[in-house]
Amino acid sequence: MAIQNHKSDSNKLNKLNKEPKTKNKIIYAILVTILSAVALITGRYSVSEENQTVQSDQEITLADAEFQVHVIDVGQGDSILVCADGETMLIDAAESKSSTEILDYLASQNVTELNYAAATHMHADHIGSFPKVLEQIKPEHVIEPVYADSLIPTTKTYERYLDAVEATGAEYTAMKAGDSFTLGNAQITVLAPVDESAKDLNNTSLVLRIQYDDIVCLFTGDMEVQEEKTILGNLENLGLLKATFLKAGHHGSDTSSGEDFLAQVQPKYVAVSCGVNNKYGHPVQSTLDHLAVWTDQIYITAQQGDIVFYYDKDTKSCDITTSGKES
């Protein structure tokens, strides 16, 4: 494979009808083959109304794209900027040592305010830089998952996160499966947590399904196989899981991206956010093997740096680019 490479509310997102003649059929077939190969090599796709991808030679640029997902290279953690029609959401903010990288990246994208700041769950590699980021770039809304009071952290990182959220004056909402909101013309549905019964913070992760025009992106935080099974157990979710783009769960750990879950998602592009030579061995080979059943478009921040998936609704085409890593 070529890898391109909380709390509860009380405590607080269409052929031509004429067939070509035989000779024309042959020419037509040759052209289709060539164009398909070009599309496969370049990673460009055109998306149909059924959220299925077909190969295309459409040329689009990031400037054309009304919808963008920026997986910021923050080392061993998550921080993802989602842009839709000029509105912005930051999903997670990595560890505290990544605040400069996140703020510099947001500045490079001319982000001066956030419509939403979303904390998928309360681990330090997801909320650590929120205090410094939110101090400089104020959000209108802050969202996080519901979870049991028994899981409320007692860490300094969590306390600083709470203080930062309060200081913004933003509208705060704890969300669970079934909740929804919008970002520009993107429709966002919460798929998890289903309730407050999770026994650990990873499985309280806020799982966001973002649909923009004909594409779907899925962001899973650190959700593990246990919670994936909970989502799969809800038949209403099954039609919602198929996605063009997947942010792989838990940094590519073998505790996430289970085969049954991926069989429903069937991603065309995957991003894994993890650190270079991290002590956990992320992403693990078994997870990459599971993902490779569905796509060879797997991008890893530790290898490619910042990862940007983008979509142009006029051409109904999407593409992906990376910043590259300094050697």
pLDDT tens digits along 310-327: 999 999 999 999 999 875
DSSP tag of 277: T
Contact 227, 192 (CB under 8 A): yes
| Predicted pLDDT of residue 235 | 66
What is the sign of the dihedral through the CA atoms of 232, 238, 244 and 245?
negative
Count the residues in the chain. Answer: 327
Q: Give the strand pairing for 307-312 and 317-322.
A: antiparallel
pLDDT at 167 exceeding the cut of 50: yes
Element (H, E) at 291: helix 285-292
- Which residues pair with residue 114 across a beta bridge? 139
| Predicted pLDDT of residue 35 | 36
pLDDT at 271 exceeding the cut of 70: yes
Is 3.60.15.10 the CATH number for 62-322? Answer: yes
Per-domain boundaries in the chain: 22-55, 62-322
Output the DSSP codes for 43-96: T-EEE-TTS-EEE------GGG-SEEEEE---SSS--EEEEETTEEEEE----G
pLDDT tens digits along 109-131: 999 999 999 999 999 999 999 99
pLDDT at 278 exceeding the cut of 60: yes
pLDDT tens digits along 200-254: 999 999 999 999 999 999 999 999 999 999 999 986 777 899 999 999 999 999 9
CA–CA separation, 235 vs 251, rounded Å? 27
pLDDT tens digits along 29-79: 433 333 333 333 333 334 443 444 433 446 778 888 999 999 999 999 999
Q: Which residues contact 225 (CB under 8 A, 6 or more apart)?
A: 255, 256, 258, 261
Q: Which residue has the higher pLDDT, 281 or 17?
A: 281
The percent of residues in the chain predicted with pLDDT above 70, rounded, is: 82
| Predicted pLDDT of residue 39 | 38
Instruction: List, edge to edge, every strand of the sheet that includes 87-91.
Output: 53-55, 45-47, 317-322, 307-312, 67-71, 80-84, 87-91, 114-118, 139-145, 171-175
| Predicted pLDDT of residue 65 | 95
The percent of residues in the chain predicted with pLDDT above 90, rounded, is: 76
| Predicted pLDDT of residue 37 | 38
Element (H, E) at 298: strand 298-300
CA–CA separation, 93 vs 124, rounded Å? 9
pTM of the model: 0.84
The single-letter code of the amino acid at 40 is: L
